[in-house]
Amino acid sequence: MPTIILLDGSLSMSRPVNLPEFTEEVQRRHLAIQGINTLLDYMGTNCKLEFTSLVVFSYLWEQLVPFTRDVEQIRMVLNKVDEYSKTCIETALSGVNSIITEEWSIFATSQVLLITDGCSGVGPGSLSYSLQKYHKRESKNNSEKGSFPLPFNTRCKLYVMCIAPPSDPNLRVSLPLFQKLIDINGYGGDIYTPDAALSTKSVQQMFQRFADDIFSPYVMTLTCGQLKCTVQLYPPPEPYEKVKDFDIIDAKIGSKLEICGFLDIADIASPPILSRHLVLPCVKDKHKEESNGETNNNKESKDGDEDVVSSTTDEAGKAAAAAAAAAAAAEGGKAPSFSVLLHGSLKVEGMIALTEVGENWYGMLYSWADSKKKSNLMLSLFEPGENSICWLGNIKQLGPVNEFGEESPYGTDDSKTPFPIRPTDKRSYAQSCVVWIKTSGLQADLQKVLRHARKLPDKQQQFYKELNRLRRAALSFGFLELLDAMALMLERECTLLPGTAHPDAALQLSHAANSLQSDMAKDVSQAIVPLRTNFSNDD
């Protein structure tokens, strides 16, 4: 899941720390940087797919490094962090909220790592002052503009790392305030403090403890009959908790992914899911030992393990998945993986593997392609229960149709459907519709139109599709002011076009803005069509 490292750059982080092992002056921000480097080392080894961003704050905030998988980029910027003014955590959380909303979907799960020295600030802008204003607004049910940034617009966990000794009086005052932030957010989190006096070792141990709790690989055993292998799920699945009218559902993922059977993709269709996880193979220790015995070099063994993982994502889509796995086993001690064989088989046959992930909890394994050349083995989790997919019925009662014989309502012909499937006619609730419950939903739709507008004329079809979709939703809700606002935004984008932009981009933006301001835009039966130009023919 995306991670934002929110580093306190206020003057209080520059307080010196007496460390006898160093002759030069060591400040708290230096210890924080060393702790962040410990975390980045752990993520570079165990969580290479993790997106991480670095944000520094004091009275204002600044995103120094956008979301990236290159931990070295963050490490280089850390050494150039300057000192700023007073601490204002509310401003920092507002900036984080805008970054997450802009970069990720409102349904994505993320986490924020707030690194501070335990001081919550003084006077206006301090954390205690911000919480007092928040509680006053809550007591008056006032949702005025500029309200508290928590809870986040997305599912975002909040963790607080305090670079302060346990005996620090400022820390004792700030700990309840930090806990209130986590409680107001409502998506979970925790507070981490050093176990002993401030030192390089205690801070590194604190960050190592956080890394072990949050970023440790989630390893499971994938089994299908006599075949099995060790796999890693990314991101790690979370327990499921839901309170119903007369029941409380509390389900947890087990240690095995046990394949129950296989279904055609057409039969499973697009079922409702809770989360998706990338399934990566893990190399057994004995294969590492064989590689070490041949090369006597730990680095070469590590490179060999990474080659197995990369070959999984690149070669799994080929029809000869089993042959590819056998060929990988013959090169340099690389081990064949059942997950590679399963991935290739599912992709070629166009099927999914119905999998039991826990007690009365199921999911499906399938091949998912992010491009034409690369594909991955994915796991999608259903809602816990035996009837999580209504058109399949009870999952525990599924079986081959030829086992029912004459008692089967579908006969003995294997070509007939062995269980009920969704009807072909489309229901009203099955159509894609626009819902604006929160401001973040409207903001996300507007940003989508602007992203396509900045890529004109390449994204011309997508631009007009999203523009008409947004226009029809505004007319349905009676939100006519949105049409004028969209026209002004498009005119502004037209003026901000660089000199190297295609001439057709300015023409299309002006045409779309003028169409939104015309009477035709208020007719829901008509659509805004692209302006016909000769630039595409001249090219």
Question: Which amino acid is present at 285?
Answer: D
Question: Which candidate, 87, 93, 107, places its Cα nearest to that of 148?
Answer: 93
User: What is the pLDDT at residue 402?
Assistant: 66
Residue holding tokens 């392609």? 369
How far is 393 from 390, CA to CA, in rounded Å?
Answer: 5
Model-wide pTM > 0.85: no
Strands (E), 89-147: 109-116
Structure tokens at 95: 């900036």
Calpha distance 125→82 (Å, rounded)? 21
Report d(CA 482, CA 465) in Å as an integer: 17
Using DSSP bridges, classify how beta strands 3-8 and 109-116 pair: parallel, antiparallel or unpaired: parallel
CA distance 95 to 29: 21
Specify the 3-state DSSP secondary structure of 290: helix
**What Å distances lie between residue 177 and 127, 146, 169, CA to CA?**
7, 20, 14
Tell me if 189 sits within 8 A of 157, measured CB to CB: yes
Residue 58 CA, chain-centre distance (Å), reads 27
Gap between the Cα atoms of 232 and 368, Å rounded? 16
Q: Are strands 256-264 and 248-251 parallel, antiparallel or unpaired?
A: unpaired
Among the listed residues 113, 136, 302, 299, the one whose alpha carbon sits nearest the alpha carbon of residue 210:
113
Q: What is the DSSP string of 469-496?
A: HHHHHHHHHT-THHHHHHHHHHHHHHHT
The residue among 432, 435, 495, 428 whose CA lies nearest residue 465 is 432
Tokens of 73: 């980029």
Q: Where along the chain do its domains lie?
A: 2-134+146-216, 218-242+250-284+335-422, 439-521
At 386 the pLDDT is 87
Q: Do residues 194 and 205 make contact, with C-beta atoms less than 8 angstroms apart? A: yes
pLDDT tens digits in sequence order for the chain, 539 residues long: 789 999 999 888 888 888 777 767 788 989 999 999 999 999 988 888 889 999 999 988 999 999 999 999 999 999 888 888 888 999 999 999 989 888 887 777 899 999 998 888 777 878 888 888 888 777 666 545 457 888 888 889 999 999 998 888 888 999 999 999 999 998 889 999 998 888 889 999 999 999 998 888 889 999 998 899 999 898 888 888 888 777 788 888 888 999 999 998 888 888 888 888 999 888 554 434 443 444 444 434 334 343 333 333 333 333 333 333 333 433 333 667 899 999 999 999 999 999 999 988 999 999 988 766 788 899 999 999 888 888 888 888 887 766 665 555 554 554 455 555 555 665 555 456 777 888 888 888 999 999 999 989 889 999 999 999 999 999 988 898 999 999 999 999 999 888 888 888 999 999 999 999 998 888 888 899 998 887 654 44
- C-alpha Rg value of the chain to the nearest Å: 28
Q: Which CATH architecture has domain 2-134+146-216?
A: 3-Layer(aba) Sandwich (3.40)
Largest CA distance in the chain: 88
| Residue 398 contacts residue 356 (beta carbons within 8 Å) | no
Q: In the beta sheet, which residues pair with residue 68?
A: 52
How crowded is residue 526: how many other Cβ atoms within 10 Å of its Cβ?
12
Question: Residue 122 carries which DSSP code?
Answer: S
Q: Which helix (H) or strand (E) holds 68?
A: strand 61-68
Strand 109-116 and strand 227-234: pairing?
unpaired
CATH number of this structure's domain 218-242+250-284+335-422: 2.40.290
The residue behind tokens 């796999």 is 231
Long-range contacts at 490-499 (CB < 8 A, ≥ 24 apart): 490/453, 490/516, 493/450, 493/453, 493/454
CB 34, CB 22: distance < 8 Å: no
Chain position carrying tokens 């890529």: 455
**Distance, CA of 202 to CA of 222 (rounded, Å):** 38
Residue 193 structure tokens: 């403090």
Contact 37, 78 (CB under 8 A): yes
Q: Which SS3 state, helix, strand or coil, does residue 441 take?
A: helix
CA distance 397 to 460: 49
Distance CA 49, CA 15 (A): 35
Q: Answer yes or no: same fold for 2-134+146-216 and 218-242+250-284+335-422.
A: no
Looking at residue 16, its amino acid is: P
> What is d(CA 120, CA 90) in angstroms, rounded to the nearest whole number?
10
Residues 6+ apart with CB under 8 A from 183: none
